[in-house]
Structure 1
Amino acid sequence: MTRSAATAIGFGAVLLWSLLALLTVGSTPTPPLLLNAICFSIGGLIGLVWTARSGGLSQLRHIPLRIYLFGTLGLFGYHALYFSALRLAPAAEAGLIAYLWPLLIVLFSSLLPGERLRMGHITGALLGFLGAALIVTGGQAGFEREAVTGYVMAFLCALTWSGYSVLSRRLGQTPTASVSVFCLATAILSGLLHLAIEDTVWPATTTGWFAVLVLGAGPVGLAFYIWDIGVKRGDIQLLGTSSYAAPLLSTLILVAFGIATPSWILAASALLITGGAGIAARASLTS
């Protein structure tokens, strides 16, 4: 596989993740942990079938337990927080806050050994957080109190995925087949916690089940495998930069389907978050 082909495959994950908010809304009223369990079961089974057909099952025995624990906590934490945020706050607003993760990845990675924080990183961070603040406050001095829990979860979601992505660099290379174990372990953990603390509510309509199945097959399934291929074999800087398109695409999709109402606050927030991340990325690419 060529470097350019791997990069193109990795970009497919960005496109799939832009559908995450839409499909999460479509899966209502399924509670977050149950949704996690269903979607990651689908994603994990897809991975196992793909791994078995490619003859890579033997690789799974040689991966250290700490890698499995780290990957499981990363996937579980991010999606449990994300699904919860979109249940407790408006989808477009919560989704944009959660999509601070590309910007945070740039900031956190600049603090790793051999890297340094540049003015572009600081400028991008300020713009991104200004966009998040604009969402939370609605352009006014206060904020929607009933949605604040969802906003906090969305921000924790961004912290979780950015921290996971940066720390994963320090764990060495692992085969893409390991993602299937991350997914299945996340499904089991989510299922157990669901039984302990949530009421079981299945999708109420055919459309709801369709959203859950597509969510598990795409943004919470295939996306992780092709992203893994992209970052390991493709141009990781180009892929990192391309991920900044996800929040803008996600918001446009929600508006197109009538889930989010177009407004100057939504537009300004999307531009601030995406633009801030782009400035931070430029600082990294030119360093």
Structure 2
Amino acid sequence: MSKNLATLIGFSAILQWSAIVGLLKRISSSIGPDYAVAFMYSFSAIILLILFRIPNLKVIPKKYFISATILFVVYELCFSYAIALAQSPQQAIEISLVNYLWPSMTIAALILFKELKFNPFVILGLAVSLSGIVLIQTGNGAFSWTSVFDNIMANPVSYFLAFLGAALWSLYCVITKKYSNGHNPIALFFIVITAVLWSKMYFLHSMPVLPSLELDTLFCMLAVSIVTALGYAAWNIGIIKGNITLLVTLSYFSPLISSVFSMLILQTHLAAAFWHGAILVTLGSFICWISTNWEYLKKILRPEK
């Protein structure tokens, strides 16, 4: 597989992921967050097993497999429950923007792992992205730290899970690129998280009664499982065999694309402050990328004669 094709496949993951927030929130509103998350990963695991089967563990570096599995499982728990526990469709979309801090965090992680050189503008980029999240919390009213704090404290668990998930996913991307040796055990990751979720349901909640499933809920459940499974499969191919820097750059548009998808799926209205904040999150990520690729960009813009 060529590097360009792998990068294109990785980009398709960004489009597929954009539908997850809206679909998952619709399912959780119907059958509750625990069943919504458990069913999503269960069906996704089945799809991935059909596509990739169980890989040979003997050829996968053990340190990578253990660390990547832990990061992946904890990230997925953070992200999915952050969305599922949102108190309203609008809040679910707002919380999803916190998760999209991960592109900027990935650049920072690449620097920590000495894959990229440090540039002070990375700090500026992170600050701009965070300012976008803060702006979203103000709504359309006048800015005040009190209103921002009150909005976050209305559902602190979801906001914390989304932020922690963003940090964990950035580490997962870097570790997968650096230590996977080209292996893609994504199906095993989903099997592990499915086992964790059903064990949690059984031991902590004694398997609550499943509400009746309407046709619309079943359709959304199937759709979110497909885009989740194929999205992660495509992303792993992209970051292992493609251009991870370009993929991170393309992912900067995720906050805007995902917000549009979620708004349509959840049939909700987003305030102007939200879109301004989403643009700042995207802009901050671009600043991070440009600051660490400035020499490369200069060669493109001013090629040597």
SS at match of 1:163: helix
2:86 counterpart (85, 88, 93): 88
Amino acid of the structure 2 residue aligned with 1:102: P
The 1-side partners of 2:180 and 2:134 are apart by 36
Aligned to 1:59: 56
Kept in 2, the 8 Å contact 1:94–1:151? The answer is yes
* Equivalent runs, 1:161-176 vs 2, <5 Å: 161-176=169-184
2:200 matched to which residue of 1? 193
> Partners of 1:196 and 1:259 in 2: how far apart?
36
Q: Distance in 1 between matches of 2:212 and 2:121?
A: 45
Counterpart of 1:226? 234
Q: Determine the C-alpha separation between the residues in 1 that align with 2:13 and 2:188.
A: 19
Is the 2:64–2:180 contact (alpha carbons within 8 Å) kept by the matching residues of 1?
no
Structure-2 residue corresponding to 1:3: 3
Distance 1:212 1:243 in 2: 25
State the AA in 2 paired with 1:48: L
Partner Cα distance (2:107, 2:209) in 1: 39
Q: 1:225 to 1:58 in 2, by over 3 A?
A: closer
Trace 1:34-45 onto structure 2 (pairs within 5 A): 34-45=35-46
Q: 1:163 to 1:26 in 2, by over 3 A?
A: same
Aligned length in residues:
281
Equivalent AA in structure 2 for residue 119 of structure 1:
P
Aligned to 1:208: 217
What is the CA–CA distance in structure 1 between the aligned matches of 2:211 and 2:72, rounded to whole Å? 22
Match for residue 250 of structure 1 among 253, 258, 262: 258
User: 2:116 aligned with 1:115, yes or no?
Assistant: yes
Q: CA 1:179 to 1:121, structure 2 compared with 1: closer, same or farther past 3 Å? A: same
Q: Which has the larger radius of gyration?
A: 2
Aligned-partner Cα distance in 1 for 2:261–2:52: 32
User: What amino acid maps onto 2:199 in structure 1?
Assistant: L
Distance (Å, rounded) in 1 between the aligned partners of 2:212 and 2:70: 26
TM-score of the two chains, using structure 1 as the length reference: 0.88
Question: Using a 3 Å threshold, how does the CA distance of structure 1 residues 65 and 209 change in structure 2: closer, same or farther?
Answer: farther
Structure 1 residues 19 and 238 mapped into 2: Cα distance closer, same or farther (>3 Å)? same
What percent identity do the matched residue pairs reach? 24
Q: Which amino acid letter does the alignment assign opposite residue 194 of structure 1?
A: M
Could you give the per-residue CA deviations for residues 81-133 of structure 1, whole angstroms, max 9, x where no partner exists?
A: 12222223411110101111111111121122253321321111010111112
8 A Cα contact 1:33 1:193, kept in partner: no
Counterpart-to-counterpart distance in 2, 1:201 and 1:156: 29
Change (3 A) 1:274 1:58: closer
* Distance in structure 2 (CA, Å) of the matches to 1:203 and 1:7: 41
Q: Which amino acid aligns with 1:94?
A: I
C-alpha separation in 1, matches of 2:68 and 2:215 = 32
Aligned equivalent of 1:140: 144
Aligned to 1:283: 291
Q: What's the CA shift string for 1:58-81, capped at 9, x where partnerless?
A: 634432444443333223222221
**1:174 CA displacement:** 4.2
The one-letter code sitting in structure 2 at the alignment partner of 1:155 is F
State the Cα distance separating 1:162 from its structure 2 match. Answer: 1.5
Instruction: Provide the secondary structure at the position in 2 that maps to 1:124.
Output: helix
Using the alignment, how far apart are the partners of 1:11 and 1:236 within structure 2? 10
Offset of residue 280 of structure 1? 0.8
Work out whether residues 73 and 186 of structure 1, in 8 Å CA contact, stay in contact via their aligned partners in 2. no
CA contact (8 A) 1:68 1:181 kept: no
Kindly indicate whether the alpha-carbon contact (under 8 Å) linking 2:37 and 2:81 is maintained by their aligned counterparts in 1. Answer: no
Asked if the contact 2:182/2:241 (under 8 Å) is kept, the reply is no
- CA RMSD in angstroms comes to 2.2
| Aligned position for 1:156 | 164
Structure 1 pair 75–147 and aligned structure 2 pair: CA distance change class (3 A): same
Per-residue displacement from partner, 1:189-220 (whole Å, max 9, x unpaired)? 1110122234354574221222122211212x
- The reply to whether residue 75 of structure 1 matches residue 72 of structure 2 is yes
Change (3 A) 1:174 1:235: closer
SS at match of 2:154: helix
In structure 1, the gaps of 5 or more residues are none
5+ residue gaps, structure 2: 296-305
Aligned to 2:131: 130
